[in-house]
Structure 1
């Protein structure tokens, strides 16, 4: 039996140290040790660090560390040879595999750790939605930005609905029949047409992603098409005249005065309510420019920072409040309070609109009928009113700068100018042009 330590390579700054075990003529095993050394420092005869490299009477920290390095390596190699010798003496008939097993457990325990296997991708819709959320919540530079918090919440809501409908549905069973059955169930549960279509669009997106992951899906889902839900009424906006009514309204409570001031600011900025309620006077630049981050996309892009113009009417509100924006409240409270303010302001004219049936827990199908206008007011009226009232003055590009919309189509969606008003504006512009000519 012979054990020898040696270097296989003598070039480069470091070289791994190997040991060779020979038993008789027919058994030879070579394995790498956990140690390495500069080949020029290796003593082939003594199978160790060259002893003559040790610094005598070391004075500097560097010399002391070098001596320690030599001693530690030589000691480790001596222990290794000793432990191997004991093993071979006690296991004279050990096979190569048995020797490797002992050796790896002793000197390379990380090799014995079970390899982490990738979690199997779920094949059912409910669990795959969780997988989709986890995958899409990661930022991968050059490939994808994470989904927004709103999207994550929407997907969780859809998942919970599917659990109620059929928690065991497989991805490959999501087909046209599934679509019809889910639609019928959601209609029975009083979900609105827009909610049903949004859910189906998300389900199609999730299934398309599953297909890319080589999961078995039914190809029918990949060809789903959707009709735009026809809205038989125009969502309300605030006109300049109505805003004046609101401004001149005396509010009996401070919370309503606070809400009234938010209406004025929202009307002249067109900001999303999630951004509006986070406006901070500390971020005002050059007296009338406000810097803020769009909350909706802050976790999705590096380009969430925006700058918007503060109209003089907005600055009047801030001046009244010692340079500060109104007190921040929740979206829901603001929704409730601005209804009260608009009722006090006399916005009681009748108009067709949609209000969710509260008997359905606030999630049910909208009841579309004639209501007094104040009942139809929500915080989303700020953006619609801004786009509708200022689009002719600012044009689409400037509107997008102020509202943060990315496309003309989105601006068009928010523009609720009546057709007759559009025609009247064209007439006014043409008459003015003809007068100049």
Structure 2
């Protein structure tokens, strides 16, 4: 049975009080409690401060509080396979008295904060070399991860040390993310990937980590479990041809669709504006944040052709899109839509699509506002349309019609495998071979056939 003992290691007027936990005859760990006392006020008989003044009585009560706290957690963690060492004991002391150790670099939460504090000067590798500063999206992901770790620490009632991030820890953390937080496979996999990244970064900063933490496996949804929504060329034509100018129809629609139209101003102008963003978005293949920032300054002409030059916010990549669809050229030149908040565009897009008759019931995931979690089910398609569908629509509609390398150059994906995952397609090697043969035929179709000399086997 484990035993707790408090002791001093000096005879000074300001002696540190230590706690020693004896787990067995051969295994014991010892740490400073953070409390100090004049050695003359220490009782070797009781192993506690003498009860000769109010201050010593209070100190004695604190130590008596720590004793059962450590023993209780020790029993639980031994049963759970948790590593019991000096780091563990230090965490118990800090948690018992609710101390925050802001200077301890061995704490996971502190290194996440270190990354956030230095976000604007961190070096990031890109396809073009190295850039300085984390993107807004990356900073957001680290901030979310930090809050998740803080919540998990509150659940397990201890601060997480890097040295504790073992296979057992990751299994428990994964179980909590999936079963308690109800996170999807994609979200859980992303948080585990960030955990692994933080551990590797900590080691680069000479912080001791476990070998396992560098091999943490992250995951996502399998192809059969992924449901993406896109707007086909036919559906885009429906949206383009729908008349949104009937005010009586809009009033009736708002009345019969209160949830869909809540907090929206349904006017011909607002719906035309959203429709134009949809039509442009499905033709240029950019993220919603980049789409909504397009102005006349992004437009240029060369040889009578229209081009859009965009620097993607997420990746800092510079991409150029050639605009050839007549209806999109007309919108950009004569009726460039006004910027609206990203979330508003998502809300208006659902209305635009329903009014256009895009109401087929499809399988997909939809946010449950009560649980704040996405739920898989069968829903009318318009309810699942948002700005991220525009970029996927572009990629899906033009896949196999335009060489994948050209599409990747427009969407900004770093490699073909990511692009194919994005549109939920497997690599089609026959398609690549077919494209090669088609291009080969096009290259050689105007060439004059070469005359060949055929020998007849004689000297004549």
TM-score (norm 2): 0.60
Partner in structure 2 of residue 409 of structure 1: 417
Q: 1:292 aligns with which of 287, 294, 310?
A: 310
- Which blocks of at least 5 consecutive residues in structure 1 are unaligned? 1-118, 299-303
Does the CA contact (< 8 Å) of 1:384 and 1:416 recur in 2? no
Partner in structure 2 of residue 177 of structure 1: 168
Q: What do residues 225-264 of structure 1 show as CA deviations (whole Å, max 9, x unaligned)?
A: 2344225243111111111111111224221111111110
- In 2, Cα distance between the equivalents of 1:134 and 1:190? 30
- In 2, Cα distance between the equivalents of 1:143 and 1:242? 42
Task: Give, in angstroms, the shift of residue 177 of structure 1.
Answer: 2.0
**2:276 matched to 1:265?**
no
**2:287 matched to 1:276?**
no
Partner in structure 2 of residue 396 of structure 1: 404
Counting matched residue pairs gives 300
- In 2, Cα distance between the equivalents of 1:190 and 1:417? 27
- Which blocks of at least 5 consecutive residues in structure 2 are unaligned? 1-101, 245-249, 251-266, 446-460
- In 2, Cα distance between the equivalents of 1:290 and 1:213? 42
- In 1, Cα distance between the equivalents of 2:426 and 2:282? 18
**2:137 matched to 1:137?**
no
1:98-177 equivalent positions in 2, closer than 5 A = 122-139=105-122, 145-166=132-153, 168-177=159-168
- In 2, Cα distance between the equivalents of 1:139 and 1:375? 40
Q: What do residues 66-100 of structure 1 show as CA deviations (whole Å, max 9, x unaligned)?
A: xxxxxxxxxxxxxxxxxxxxxxxxxxxxxxxxxxx
Task: Give, in angstroms, the shift of residue 277 of structure 1.
Answer: 0.4
Over 3 Å counting, the alpha-carbon distance change for 1:161 and 1:414 in structure 2 is: closer
Range with greater deviation from structure 2 (338-347 or 408-417)? 408-417
Partner in structure 1 of residue 349 of structure 2: 338
- In 2, Cα distance between the equivalents of 1:123 and 1:417? 43
- In 1, Cα distance between the equivalents of 2:220 and 2:314? 24
**2:232 matched to 1:232?**
no
- In 2, Cα distance between the equivalents of 1:373 and 1:232? 17
Does the CA contact (< 8 Å) of 2:349 and 2:386 recur in 1? yes
**2:193 matched to 1:201?**
yes
Partner in structure 1 of residue 215 of structure 2: 223
Partner in structure 1 of residue 183 of structure 2: 191
Does the CA contact (< 8 Å) of 2:366 and 2:376 recur in 1? yes
Does the CA contact (< 8 Å) of 1:388 and 1:414 recur in 2? no
Of the two structures, which has the highest relative contact order with CA contacts closer than 8 Å and spacing of 6 or more?
Answer: 1
Over 3 Å counting, the alpha-carbon distance change for 1:418 and 1:247 in structure 2 is: farther
Q: 1:317 aligns with which of 298, 314, 331?
A: 331
Does the CA contact (< 8 Å) of 1:349 and 1:372 recur in 2? yes
Partner in structure 2 of residue 20 of structure 1: none
Q: What do residues 147-200 of structure 1 show as CA deviations (whole Å, max 9, x unaligned)?
A: 211111111111111111105111111222221222222221222221111101
TM-score (norm 1): 0.63
Q: What do residues 252-279 of structure 1 show as CA deviations (whole Å, max 9, x unaligned)?
A: 4221111111110011111111110011
Over 3 Å counting, the alpha-carbon distance change for 1:354 and 1:281 in structure 2 is: same
Task: Give, in angstroms, the shift of residue 282 of structure 1.
Answer: 2.7
- In 2, Cα distance between the equivalents of 1:297 and 1:406? 10
1:414-433 equivalent positions in 2, closer than 5 A = 414-416=422-424
Q: Secondary structure at the match of 2:132?
A: coil
Larger radius of gyration: 1
